[in-house]
Amino acid sequence: MENTARSLEERLNAHPQLRGHMESLLALVEGENEEVKQADEAERRVIEALRHLGNEVLRSWAIEQEGVQSARVSQQGAVRAGKKNSTGTRRLGK
């Protein structure tokens, strides 16, 4: 892992949406939600929370990768898409 120098709290602060999902899971584990009385309800909520967490993780990952790839392309000096200068191919007519 490359982020071992930074604490988990610092890393979560950089991703507030992920932090919120993790806090929701911890609240469930710590029994802060008094509505959850049975294992079935707890399981349903954990599954729902993990789905939301997974979606957020993938969204954050995609945004990060987009930035990395964009920077890489910019450094390589790639030409951005634009209007073509070609007028077509010449006719080999008679």
Mean pLDDT of the chain: 84
Q: Is residue 67 part of a domain?
A: yes
Q: Which residues of 37-49 are buried (b: 16+ CB within 10 A; e: fewer)?
A: eeeeeeeebeeeb
Give the domain extent around 60. Answer: 8-76
Give me the pLDDT at residue 36, please. 81
Average pLDDT over residues 74-87: 68
Model confidence at 81, pLDDT cuts 50, 70, 90, reads: low
Q: Is residue 22 part of a domain?
A: yes
Average pLDDT over residues 52-62: 93
pLDDT, tens digit (0-9, with 9 covering 90-100), for 17-56: 989 999 988 888 888 877 888 889 889 989 999 999 999 9
Q: Is residue 85 part of a domain?
A: no
Contact predicate 25/49, CB 8 Å: yes
Q: Is residue 20 part of a domain?
A: yes
Q: Is residue 2 part of a domain?
A: no
Query: Structural domain tally of the chain?
Result: 1
Give me the pLDDT at residue 87, please. 72
Give me the pLDDT at residue 53, please. 93
Q: Is residue 82 part of a domain?
A: no
Give me the pLDDT at residue 59, please. 93
Examine the pLDDT at 78 and tell me if it is beyond 80: no
Name the nearest CA neighbour of 25 among 57, 2, 3.
57
Q: Is residue 90 part of a domain?
A: no
Q: Is residue 1 part of a domain?
A: no
